[in-house]
Amino acid sequence: MTAREPLLSLDGITRNFGAIEALRGITFEIGKGEVVALLGDNGAGKSTLVKIISGGLEPSGGRLVYEGREVRFGSPAEAKAAGIETVYQDLSLCTNVDVVANFFMGREIVKRFLGIPILQERAMEAATAKAIADAGTRIPSLRTNVEHLSGGQRQAIELNRFVHWGGKLVLLDEPFAALGVEQTRRGLEMIKRIAAQGISVVIITHIMAQAFQVADRMVVIRQGQVAGDVRTEDTTADEVVRMITGEAVKPPRAPIAEARTTGPA
Amino acid sequence: MVSPRRRAAIEFVLDNLVWFILVAVVAIFSFAVPNYFQIGIFANIIEQATFVGTLAIGLSLLIIAGYMDLSIESVMALSAMVIGILFAASGVGLGITLTPEWLVVPVSLAVALAVGAVVGATNAFFVVRLKMNAFIVTLAAYIWGRGLVVALSGGRSAQEMPAALRVFAIERFLNVPLIAWVSIVATLAFAFVLRKTPFGRHLLLIGGNPVAAYRAGIRVDRLTVITFILAGAIAGLAGWLLAIRTSGATANLGVGMLFQTFAAVVIGGVSLKGGVGSLTGVYAGVLLLSSIQTAINLMGMPAHFTQLIQGAMVLAAVLLDTMKLQIRKKLA
Ligand SMILES: Nc1ncnc2c1ncn2[C@@H]1O[C@H](COP(=O)(O)OP(=O)(O)O)[C@@H](O)[C@H]1O
Ligand SMILES: [Mg+2]
């Protein structure tokens, strides 16, 4: 077992919405290939933090150090270019177009004829079909508009989408909220699989069992501050719940969890 | 729950509804209106569709992307007046001649497109940069654009465009004048762009869910600016065609075309909610309006009938839009 290098360090991140201080100095690290569960009550600031990391919101203060360099993502496009994929709490699908168009949103396969980029529908459909089949998701037709699909199917499309595109860091904001038992189980396995490939994962969930199943470390946010940062093996569900509700004294910050033997060195 | 095949059939009819209506209307007129069923009449319908058809391209692109452009009619008139003043021989026309003479074709076209693009860019600035409502911004441009036409011309008209330009209105291919072909080719070109290129795909995505498109890394603001500029330039093209057709420009050139264009776009299946529509459908909508107008003319009804019917058509189109939405909801 070797200590992991940090992929992303958050240093005193703050964010105000007018008079509301949504984040009041968030500091923690995410190691390479580490799965961090981000926990906290509604309104604690978890989604805001995710949006800051993914380039959708600018922090009011603090620093982000990504792969050893201080970064500032001005847009989701920049964060994506740096290898950060996000599944947002409110789904990011365009319901007016079909599954394939959503899967390749912003990254369409094109071929140039006379310099004009032409969409390659067949290639995109084949790639989408493969990704969806690999994940065991069932969707009747990839050419139906997403508005005709169920909430679970929509969430599955988003999850499969980020797995397909890979990257270095994946942010999942309550990704399983609309999924059934079996789909959730597959989703959790998928997280372990991508972490084993050396991709870091931040997952927000309200379900303690899910967090304990996949996370190497738990970071608890309470009222815009870190109320706990513990290794999964050093804590219990009861203790984490007390941190979330503010009954526990803040324990010292845990180092990045050591890599599991399955992970890359 | 509807079976997939049945749903596909209903979707097909809804998507192409306007073509079915067009065929039905033309068939009815052909039986009911004396002298309607002639090649010459159909050529005339297509010729009449030129200006509204061209304007409808830009308006459709913007509505599909979730915006609105009320300025197109005034932009068209402004472009027509500017090239009228520059190149027409009498009236307020300065009668500038170029050597060789045909050079006036690309130069006047470039001027018309540029005038439109500039207005489109100012619209984009207010909407994208200052986050102002597109409806209000383009309504203002509709008003000041027309004001500028009157101011430039002093209320007078420009007449006698150069022969090199007039050729486009006189020469015919398959019975249809070249200006109408320009409009058809532009429609087909942008229909292709909308369906087959990433630019077109991104417009649909932005119209469907701009937040999702932004999160997916699509440069929403940049694309919106480009689309406003395109809509302006295409309105400039309509102005170029109209100046050629009327061999000049008047201060009230093209008044009323905005509403016809709106009607055509909505009848053509573009949802005012954004994210839905195709340009081939819109062209069918334009032809539908044009064939109704032709029937009214043939029956010798007074001109205000056209306005009454067009008003009713706009209402019917919006009603149809709502109805299609409800049918689609039931299907889901
Ligand atoms: N766009 C916004 N404008 C104003 N306040 C916001 C905005 N987004 C979040 N907030 C506020 O910031 C706080 C944290 O919200 P959020 O990050 O969504 O919490 P969580 O995801 O942990 O439930 C809440 O008080 C919320 O009301
Ligand atoms: Mg949240």
Each residue of B217-253: pLDDT tens digit? 999 999 999 999 999 999 999 999 999 999 999 999 9
State whether residue A162 sits within 8 Å of chain B by CB: no
Count how many pairs of residues, chain A against chain B, have C-beta atoms within 8 Å. Answer: 80
Which of A107-111, B56-60, B72-76, B327-331 has the least mean pLDDT? B327-331
**Yes or no, beta carbons of B197 and A141 under 8 Å apart:** no
The owner of tokens 């738990």 is: A218
Gap between the Cα atoms of B18 and B47, Å rounded: 19
Q: Is the pLDDT of residue A1 over 50?
A: no
Q: Whose CA is nearest to atom 27 of ligand 1?
A: A43
* Closest ligand to residue A89's CA: 2
CB of residue A264 inside a 6 A radius of ligand 1: no
Give the model's pLDDT for residue A265. Answer: 36
B209 and A93 in contact by Cβ < 8 A? yes
pLDDT of residue B332: 62
- Under the banding of pLDDT at 50, 70 and 90, the label for residue B327 is confident
Query: Residue A223: what pLDDT?
Result: 93
Beta strands in B162-288 (DSSP E): 172-173, 176-177, 248-249
Q: Are B76 and B55 in contact (CB under 8 A)?
A: yes
Could you give the CA distance from residue B64 to residue B132 in angstroms, rounded to a whole number?
19
CA pair distance B244, B247, nearest whole angstrom: 5
Which residue's CA is the nearest one to ligand 1's atom 26? Answer: A43
CA distance A202 to A40: 13
Is the per-residue pLDDT at B121 higher than 50?
yes
Which of B204, B215, B328 shows the shortest C-beta gap to A92? B215
Predicted local distance difference test score (pLDDT) of residue A3: 61
**What pLDDT score does A21 carry?**
94
Q: Please report which confidence band the pLDDT of residue A259 belongs to, taking 50, 70 and 90 as the band edges.
A: low
The lowest-confidence range among A32-41, A95-104, B27-36 is B27-36
If you average pLDDT over residues A87-91, what whole number do you get? Answer: 83
Average pLDDT over residues B6-24: 84
Three-state DSSP at B131 gives coil
Which of A50, A105, A161 is most worth mutating to test chain B (most B CB atoms within 10 A of its CB)?
A105
Q: What is the pTM of this model?
A: 0.87
Distance from CA of B48 to the nearest CA of A (A): 32
Q: What share of chain B in percent tops pLDDT 70?
A: 99
Report whether pLDDT(A2) > 80.
Answer: no
Mean pLDDT across A215-229: 94
> What is the CA(A72)–ligand 2 centre distance, in A?
22
Q: For residue B294, what pLDDT is reported?
A: 85
Among protein residues, the one with the nearest Cα to ligand 1's atom 18 is A47
- A236-242: long-range contacts at Cβ-Cβ below 8 A with a sequence spacing of 24 or more? A237/A208, A237/A209, A237/A212, A240/A39, A240/A208, A240/A211, A241/A208
Q: Do A118 and B218 touch (CB under 8 A)?
A: no
Closest CB from B211, B216, B275 relative to A106:
B216
Task: Report the domain count for chain B.
Answer: 1
pLDDT of A262 higher than 50: no
Mean pLDDT of chain B: 91
Positive or negative CA dihedral for B268, B269, B270, B272? positive
Contacts of A118 (CB under 8 A, 6+ apart): A110, A111, A112, B196, B197
- The model's pLDDT over B99-109, given as tens digits with 9 standing for 90+, comes to 898 999 999 99
Neighbouring residues of B146: CB distance < 8 A, sequence distance ≥ 6: B73, B74, B77, B78
Q: What's the token pair of residue A55?
A: 């380039």
- Using CB atoms, pick whichever of B196, B214, B216 lies closest to residue A119: B196
- Among A244-253, B199-208, B231-240, B284-293, the minimum mean pLDDT is found in A244-253
Express each pLDDT in B122-175 by its tens digit.
999 999 999 999 999 999 999 999 999 999 999 999 999 999 999 999 999 998
Choosing from A21, A41, A47, A48 the residue with most ligand 1 atoms within 8 A of its CB, the one to mutate for a pocket test is A48
Per the CB < 8 A criterion, the answer to whether A178 and A171 are in contact is no
Alpha-carbon distances of A218 from A29, A30, A175, A237, B112, rounded to whole Å: 11, 11, 17, 11, 63
Whether A122 has its CB under 8 Å from any CB of chain B: the answer is: no
In angstroms, what CA-CA distances link A115 with A179, B216, B246, B260, B327?
A: 43, 24, 37, 36, 41
pLDDT at residue A263, as a whole number: 40
| Closest ligand 1 atom to A221 CA | 22
Nearest CA in chain B to A112: B197
Q: Does any CB of chain A come closer than 8 Å to the CB of residue B222?
A: no
Percent of chain B scoring above 90 in pLDDT: 67
- Cβ of A1 closer than 6 Å to ligand 1, yes or no, is no
Q: Tell me how far apart the alpha carbons of residues A231 and A248 are, in angstroms, rounded to a whole number.
A: 16
How far from chain centre, in Å, is Cα A198?
14
Supply the CATH number for residue B137's domain. 1.10.3470
B299-316 mean pLDDT: 80
Determine the distance from the C-alpha atom of residue A171 to the mean position of all C-alpha atoms in its chain, rounded to a whole number.
1
Determine the average pLDDT of the residues in A161-177.
87
Structural domain range at position B94: 4-331
| DSSP letter string, chain A | --PPPEEEEEEEEEEEETTEEEEEEEEEEEETT-EEEEE--TTSSHHHHHHHHTTSS--SEEEEEETTEEE--SSHHHHHHTTEEEE-SS----TTSBHHHHHTTT---EEEETTEEEE-HHHHHHHHHHHHHHTT---S-TTSBGGGS-HHHHHHHHHHHHHHH--SEEEEESTTTT--HHHHHHHHHHHHHHHHTT-EEEEE-S-HHHHHHH-SEEEEEETTEEEEEEEGGG--HHHHHHHHHT-SPPPPPPPPPPPPTTS--
CATH numbers and ranges of domains, chain A? 6-83+167-261 (3.40.50.300)
- Residue B240 has, within 13 A of its CA and on its CB side, a CA count of 27
* ipTM of the complex in this document: 0.86
